[in-house]
Amino acid sequence: MLYPLKFEPFLRPMIWGGERIASYKGFETPVHAIGESWELSGVAGHESIVADGPCKGMSLPDLLARYGAELVGRANYERFGNEFPLLVKFIDAREDLSVQVHPDDRLAWERHRMKGKTEMWYVVDPLPGAHLRIGFDRPVTPEAYAAAVADHTICDLLRDHPIAEGDVFFLPAGRVHSIGAGAFVAEIQQTSDLTYRIYDYDRPGPDGKPRELHTELAKEAIDYTVPDDYRTSYERIRNKDTELVSCPYFTTHLCDATFSVWCDYSALDSFVVLIFVAGGGELVDTDGNRRPVRQGETLLVPAATSGVTLFPGPKGLRFLSSYIEGPAEG
């Protein structure tokens, strides 16, 4: 019988990585400068491994091959097969990340025979002064973009967003962005590791040489439109499920619970990923499986599970829930 699954995190040291992920997740590690913790991954070569329970040691592709639609839902299994369709991370930036952009599905397939990348960020625990650069601050032509990269002024064209806990940003493929120093975010995205690095502040990589840039590849991938507001507005009400993002690639909700919350998945033809961003408590599913939960953990609730109840601890329990419903548009 399937049960809510926890996976071993894949810790990625990065030249811009910080020291907060391990303490946030509640473990010790000799690894330093951890920029990313991949909580749930179907990316080839880095597929997540079940951490505990009867399925301990199984990879996500192994689970999908054995359980198929029971794990991810009928429609998702038909569309994605044995590749899990979402990648979930925690990101801790001690320094600014590179300015980058991700191609959409069409361009990614034409150029690389890969999927594009649409993603979202939920700000978990920013340091004072933390910021994100997202989108252009004014209309920019492809020629002006290329010139700004060449003369190292590309950041002057980007909108800078001071951030606070709970801020949400949706990043459709094509939107230029950079995570700024001091940011700590949860990221939900398509299963893709395809990134065009536009600008990296002329800093050396681990080998002492500048990291590869993809400024020309990015030129056609960028969406040059300038919306009024890049930030996702929502009203956070305690003990109420609030939709943050709904797109063809994922739907994500936030719940800030101070008393028990019943999550009904009986009508949903999808897995649900639960990302615990603050507090702790206990989860009980409709099959009687129980497990403690805490901030920094991510659980995969199988599609065959009709619902879960979350019981917050004394400090409450704040969590994101993400799933895929309906066919993705290519």
Residues 257 and 203 in one domain: no
Domain end: 221, 251, 276, which one?
221
SS3 label, residue 177: strand
pLDDT in the model for residue 66: 97
pLDDT in the model for residue 202: 87
Residues 197 and 247 in one domain: no
* CATH number of the CATH domain containing 294: 2.60.120.10
Q: Judge contact between 145 and 99, C-beta under 8 A.
A: no
Residues 214 and 246 in one domain: no
Q: Note whether residue 80 is domain-resident.
A: yes
Query: Residue for token digits 């995190």?
Result: 9
Mean local confidence (pLDDT), 159-180? 98
| Residue 129 in this model has a pLDDT that exceeds 50 | yes
SS3 label, residue 72: helix
C-alpha R_g of the chain: 20
Residues 19 and 98 in one domain: yes
The total of structural domains in the chain comes to 2
List pLDDT tens digits, range 17-73.
Answer: 999 999 999 999 999 999 999 999 999 999 999 999 999 999 999 999 999 999 999
DSSP characters for 237-253?
-TTS-EEEEEETTEEEE
Mean local confidence (pLDDT), 171-194? 97
Confidence of residue 329 (pLDDT cuts 50, 70, 90): very low
Percentage of residues in the chain having pLDDT higher than 70: 98
Greatest CA separation for the chain: 61
Residues 202 and 248 in one domain: no
Residues spanned by the domain of 253: 242-323
Q: Judge contact between 147 and 123, C-beta under 8 A.
A: no
List pLDDT tens digits, range 209-221.
Answer: 888 999 999 999 9
Domain end: 191, 221, 251, which one?
221
